[in-house]
Amino acid sequence: MHYFKYKKGELCCEDVPIAEIAGATGTPVYVYSYKTLERHFNVFDDAFKGTPHITCYSCKANSNLAVLRIMGRLGGGTDIVSGGELHRALQAGIPPRKIVFSGVGKTEDEIRSAVKTGILMINVESGDELAVIRKVAGKLKTRVPLSVRVNPQIDAKTHPYITTGLKKNKFGVLWDDAHTLYNQMGEDPYLDPVGISSHIGSQILELGPFVEAVRSLKSMALQLRAEGIPLRCMDIGGGLGITYRDELPPEPKAYGKAIENELKGTDLTVILEPGRVLVGNSGILATRLLYRKNGPEKSFYIVDGAMNDLLRPALYDAYHEIIPVNEKPGKRLKADIVGPICESGDFFAKDREMADLEPGELIAILGAGAYGFSMSSNYNSRRRAAEVLVKDKEFFVIRKRETFKDLIRGESIPSFLEV
């Protein structure tokens, strides 16, 4: 469900034609729909109304300040994985008590900032990390709320690059090791074991793996409680999938109900870390056709967006629906839709059936709201795209396109090379 629709043959985001935005900002440009973001957050959050919970939006999916502010205004918190994301969350006004800190490699500085900020909890991922947290907490004389990220060894049946709950993955710790970590926490006055967490992967299309993970987390939590460790929350991570093509992900409602059933009778507060499901279909990347090229075996549409703007097709062979901004019935052809970067991996689609377009026409790459801009780079010294938020009839530039000056900011030529 999203608010990108054709109106009189013109693709609009809510009530604003994409062509109008592209004309104002240039291309490539990310366009997000406020109404879609709001709807997705509310549908997801409402799905858990039967369970005490906090929806901590996983901001790696899209960390623009405006998007974070929207989530915060709707009552959400944030799942962060770096000092940079902590900075963004605070700048956007997310209450510290709704911020959870995940990730296998938090630095001492990052841990110190999180402790000083007073966040909801840190998800510990190793004994070495716990030792650093203990040191920081002792120095700051601050009791730190902690949870251990357990690896429940569950196959989420998703792309190998985005599965995280298997034994061979770098994430989390096995139950026996987690148990040891909880016991260590119990011995230190500054370490406060408040929760248990897991995240089994991303773009998950079945409820089974979630239910299995929650079931095993619940039995661990109950065992820890029986041993006198008074856990209050269970962080079940993110991972709910979305439709890019013809996938049929579980409805948030069914997901919420399944978790509620599993946790009935416990008074654990559930922490949720959804990313993609909140923002994925709330955004598109609009790009302009530069040239057509007919090779001996293939036709190419060369557009002004590239893998530096949207990496998912190149990195995961991910499918994104691509449609013309001006509806074009009639002749269709098969083409690879590629960018200007000097890599064969720089493509948005291969052998895609498309309308017959002329150079200068705009196309929209759908489902680009999650892991789109946030994974973009400056490769080939391309300036990162502008980002726009639409609300009803208005649009707002929420990130300017980078300038050439931005591209070289912070660089310098050492004195021995001066002319």
Half-sphere exposure of 159 (CA within 13 A, CB side): 13
Which residues, 6+ apart, have CB-to-CB distance to 368 below 8 Å? 30, 283, 284, 285, 310, 320
Site for ligand LLP in 381-400 (CB under 6 A): none
Cα 201 from Cα 157, distance rounded (Å): 9
Which residue shows structure tokens 């251990």? 148
Nearer to ligand LLP among residue 310 and residue 335 (C-beta): 310
Out of 106, 276, 288, 384, point to the residue binding ligand LLP (CB under 6 A). Answer: 276
Structure letter (DSSP) for residue 85: H
Q: What's the closest the beta carbon of residue 131 comes to ligand LLP, in angstroms? A: 21
Out of 34, 301, 347, 371, point to the residue binding ligand LLP (CB under 6 A). Answer: 371
Out of 76, 172, 193, 274, point to the residue binding ligand LLP (CB under 6 A). Answer: 274
Point out the catalytic residue in the list 12, 13, 56, 342: 342
Site for ligand LLP in 234-263 (CB under 6 A): 237-240
Site for ligand LLP in 161-190 (CB under 6 A): 162
Output Rg (C-alpha) for the chain, integer angstroms: 23
Rule CB under 6 A: say whether 207 interacts with ligand LLP: no
Out of 193, 256, 275, 305, point to the residue binding ligand LLP (CB under 6 A). Answer: 275
Q: What's the closest the beta carbon of residue 246 comes to ligand LLP, in angstroms? A: 17
Rule CB under 6 A: say whether 150 interacts with ligand LLP: no
Residue type, 371: Y
Which residues, 6+ apart, have CB-to-CB distance to 28 below 8 Å? 285, 286, 287, 288, 303, 304, 305, 306, 309, 385
Rule CB under 6 A: say whether 202 interacts with ligand LLP: yes
Backbone angles phi, psi at 31, to 5 degrees: -125, 125
Beginning with the edge strand found earlier in the chain, give each strand of the sheet holding 16-17 in spatial order. Answer: 4-7, 10-13, 16-17
Nearer to ligand LLP among residue 209 and residue 238 (C-beta): 238
Q: Does the N-terminal peptide bond of residue 28 adopt cis geometry, omega within 30 degrees of 0?
A: yes
- The DSSP secondary structure of 364-411, one letter per residue, reads EE-S-SSSSGGG---GGGPPPPEEEEEETTEEEEEEPPP-HHHHHTT-
Out of 40, 134, 312, 382, point to the residue binding ligand LLP (CB under 6 A). Answer: 312
Reading the block at residue 307, the tokens are: 């893998």
Q: What's the closest the beta carbon of residue 121 comes to ligand LLP, in angstroms? A: 13
Q: Give the distance from CA 8 to its chain's centroid.
A: 33
Nearer to ligand LLP among residue 300 and residue 379 (C-beta): 379
Q: What's the closest the beta carbon of residue 275 comes to ligand LLP, in angstroms? A: 3
Cα 379 from Cα 306, distance rounded (Å): 10
* C-beta neighbour count of 221 within 10 angstroms: 22
Q: Which stretch binds ligand LLP (CB under 6 A): 28-36, 125-133, 231-239, 292-300?
A: 231-239
Distances (CA, A) of 234 to 193, 198, 268: 11, 8, 6
Q: What's the closest the beta carbon of residue 372 comes to ligand LLP, in angstroms? A: 8
Rule CB under 6 A: say whether 158 interacts with ligand LLP: no
Out of 53, 88, 134, 199, point to the residue binding ligand LLP (CB under 6 A). Answer: 199
Q: What's the closest the beta carbon of residue 93 comes to ligand LLP, in angstroms? A: 21
Structure letter (DSSP) for residue 97: G
Q: Say if residues 98 and 76 touch (Cβ distance below 8 Å).
A: yes
Nearer to ligand LLP among residue 157 and residue 328 (C-beta): 157
Q: Is 59 designated active site?
A: no
Strand partners, 124: 148
Q: Say if residues 328 and 251 touch (Cβ distance below 8 Å).
A: no
Q: Give the distance from CA 278 to its chain's centroid.
A: 9
Q: What's the closest the beta carbon of residue 126 comes to ligand LLP, in angstroms? A: 15
Rule CB under 6 A: say whether 125 interacts with ligand LLP: no
Q: Say if residues 169 and 116 touch (Cβ distance below 8 Å).
A: no
Rule CB under 6 A: say whether 102 interacts with ligand LLP: yes
Q: Which stretch binds ligand LLP (CB under 6 A): 16-24, 183-191, 275-283, 389-397?
A: 275-283
Q: What's the closest the beta carbon of residue 207 comes to ligand LLP, in angstroms? A: 14
Out of 38, 79, 129, 387, point to the residue binding ligand LLP (CB under 6 A). Answer: 79
Q: Active-site positions?
A: 342
Contact residues toward ligand LLP (CB under 6 A) are 58, 60-61, 79, 102, 162, 199, 202-203, 237-240, 273-277, 312, 316, 371
